[in-house]
Amino acid sequence: MPGVDLLSSVSAAGLPSLLPAHGEPPAELPPLDVHTAVTTWVLEPWPALMILVAGALYVLGVVKLHRRGDRWNPGRTISFLVGGLGTSVVATQSFLAAYDLTLLSVHMVQHMLLSMLAPVFLALGAPITLALRTLPGGPRAVLMRILHSRIVGVFTFPIVAMTIFVINPWILYFSGIYEATLRNPLLHDANHLHFLLVGCLWYWSLLGIDPLPNRASYPMRMIATVATLPFHAFLGVTIMQSTALLAQDWYLDLGRTWGPSPLEDQQIAGAILWGSGDLMSLVIFTVLAVQWWHASEREARVVDRRLDLQERSAAVRAGTPAEDFDAQPRADSYARARMPGGSRNALP
């Protein structure tokens, strides 16, 4: 058929192929190998449009800040554009999108990128903070009302966000919803967006620099990260050991003659879910530990300045010359600032 001929001829020439997403029956795609994975690209119009709009709005915000002389951490820009949106492009426009209807293992890689990796980078890019700093008064007030609304408060409550993140894949894969997303292009794209939103909801509450209600302490966030480990591991093992195929009618009807059998492919998918879930939890735990350390350092400096000011004031009232005052940082303030609860516990 025309689309497959184009894919075969362009790939044979050693050039990247660009096809409309899902333009041909998945069973007619060539076997997936390293060369095909590198050279195959598809065009998913709606995901591509959303990625372009999000990137353009972010860049406009950064440019507006620079024009008025304000600073914006370039690491945040790289995190959002390259890490977050770049990962989304790979998940929705590369060979992953071309083969996600054919191989459950490919779909699972796509799922992990959209629900675990991309949201982490998007959260570290602090887009809400950027919007609050660049939006005019009216839109900024609307955004503030949304952030302080009851529904946002409920969904960003750590237990609620964690529950949604953990339960979501169980409902998707062990119901008819997953097969419906394979058969309906609109549901398929909606499922991609759903992965991203659920991941953002969870990782924004864990890592986000942006202002959100119900932000838990660092120890609680680290405990919550560890608490999600057994759920993803159990789901991955359940998929690996299951003898019943997920979306069985769909995968058997494809009649695929290359690659692993549908059951073997499902076992690979379960292993990907298990391994990537554990790996991402380790990464998040490490990021939280680094963030906690830096937060403690900042709190310690605030405490030092406050104690320094108090002692200077006391010295002036006692008649001690300011030049005789020893203004060296007090080591004990650092210890107090690192106590759970932050600088409030460190203050005298």
Check the CA dihedral 200-206-207-213 and report its sign: positive
Q: What pLDDT sits at residue 26?
A: 56
pTM score of the predicted model: 0.78
- 3-class state of residue 222 by DSSP: helix
Measured from the Cβ of residue 338, the count of other Cβ atoms closer than 10 Å reads: 18
What's the pLDDT tens digit per position in 26-52? 557 889 999 999 999 998 999 999 999
Cα-based distances in Å from 54 to 46, 81, 86, 129: 12, 9, 12, 14
The sign of the CA dihedral 7, 10, 11, 15 is negative
Sign of the CA dihedral running 91, 95, 101, 106: negative
Name the β-bridge partners of 18: 41
- What whole-number distance in Å separates Cα of residue 287 and Cα of residue 95? 30
Q: Which two tokens stand for residue 179?
A: 């097969």
pLDDT, tens digit (0-9, with 9 covering 90-100), for 184-242:
999 999 999 999 999 999 988 888 788 887 777 788 888 888 888 888 889 999 999 99
Measured distance CA(245)–CA(177) in Å, rounded: 14
> CB 203: neighbour CB atoms within 10 A?
26
Other C-beta atoms lying within 10 Å of the C-beta of residue 45: 10
pLDDT at 211: 84
Report the distance separating Cα 96 and Cα 247, nearest Å: 18
Chunked mean pLDDT (size 10), the chain, 348 residues: 38 45 58 91 92 97 93 94 97 94 95 94 94 92 91 87 92 92 92 94 84 79 83 91 92 89 95 88 82 75 74 71 50 43 37
- Which residues have C-beta within 8 Å of that of residue 106, sequence separation ≥ 6? 32, 95, 96, 99, 100
- Cβ–Cβ under 8 Å, residues 198 and 205: no
Which positions ≥6 away from 96 have C-beta within 8 Å? Answer: 90, 106, 109, 110, 113
Longest Cα–Cα distance of the chain, Å, equals: 93
Bridge partner list, 43: 20
Distance between first and last Cα of the chain = 77
Give the separation between CA 133 and CA 159, rounded to whole angstroms. Answer: 29
Q: Which two tokens stand for residue 332?
A: 């004990």
Position 284 scores a pLDDT of 84
Confidence (pLDDT) at 7:
43
- Packed helices 229-241 and 218-227: angle between N→C axes, nearest 10 degrees: 10
Tokens of 1: 């058929």
- Determine the pLDDT at residue 321: 57
Q: How far apart are CA 3 and CA 10, in angstroms?
A: 11
Q: Which of 181, 199, 176, 208 shows the shortest CA–CA distance to 277?
A: 199
